[in-house]
Amino acid sequence: MSTTTGLADLLFGRTRGAILALLYGHADRSFYTRQIAREVNASVGAVQRELENLSKVGLIVRKSVGSQVFYQANRGAPLFREMQALVNKTIGVFSILRSAMQSLSKQIVVAFVYGSVAREEETSQSDVDLMVIGRATLDEVLSRLSTVEKSIGRPINPTVYSVAEFKSKLASGNHFLTAVLKGQKVFLLGDEDELRKMGGVRLAKAGANQLQ
C-alpha cells in the first residue's frame, strides 16, 4: 500500500473519500445526491450520511433548487485550497495519475502535471496537462490514461518526449517547453533534480511540488 493510499484510508474512508474526490475534483460544479451515489458507487443512504456530516463541518455547501438538493465543494471555506490539495494528492487526480504511471516507472525519468490543474486554477472543463519524459511511448502512456479519464471525469492531455528530444527542444529554446518548465509543476515520478540533470541547466524551482 502506498503512503498516499494509506493516508487517504486513515483520513477519509472509502465513501467519504470518493465524495470529496468528486466534489473537490470538480469544485465549480454541483451534484445531487443520487448523482453522487452513482458516481462514487455507494448507496444513497451512505452518501446522504456523509453529505450531512461534510456539510456540518463546512467542507461542502448544500443548496436547494426547486425540489432538488445539490451539493458542492465549499470554495468559501478557510481551508478550501489546502483541502483541495490534500484530496488531489491522496485520493484525487494526482494520486490516480501517479498510480497509473507507476507501471511505466522503469521507462519514465520524469512525469509531472502542469498548467491550470497544477496551479489549482482549473475548472470542470480544464484538461489535465501531463508531461512524460523517458523511454515510454505515447501509445504506452495513452493506454494507461483511458481509465484515469473516466475516473476523474476530465480529459488528459499528455506530452511525451524521449530524453534526447527533451534535451534538443530545451537547447533550442522551444517556447512551449520553456514556459512549461518555468510554471507550476506537480511531480508524479522523478523530481526537479532529474529535470536539471537531463537539461544541463538550472530550471525554475518556484512552486515545484513533488508527491511523496
How many domains are there within the chain? 2
**Residue 133: Cβ within 10 Å count:** 24
The chain-wide mean pLDDT, for the chain, equals 86
**Domain with 183 in it:** 104-199
- Residue 16 placed within a domain: yes
pLDDT in tens, 67-108: 899 999 999 999 998 888 888 777 778 888 998 999 999 999
* 145 in the same domain as 69: no
Cβ(111)–Cβ(131) under 8 Å?
yes
Residue 5's pLDDT is: 47
Instruction: State pTM to two decimals.
Output: 0.69
Name residues whose C-beta falls within 8 Å of residue 71's C-beta, 6 or more positions apart in sequence.
23, 30, 31, 32, 33, 36, 51, 54, 55, 60, 61, 62, 63
**Residue 197: Cβ within 10 Å count:** 11
- Residue 89 placed within a domain: no
Question: Would the pLDDT of 207 be above 50?
Answer: no
| 65 vs 126, more confident | 65
Per-residue pLDDT band for 8 (boundaries 50, 70, 90) equals low
Looking up residue 51, the CATH number of its domain turns out to be 1.10.10.10
- Residue 169 placed within a domain: yes
Looking up residue 190, the CATH number of its domain turns out to be 3.30.460
pLDDT in tens, 132-154: 999 999 999 999 998 888 878 78
- Angle of the 3-11 helix axis to the 14-25 helix axis, nearest 10: 100
Give the dihedral sign, CA 171/177/183/189: negative
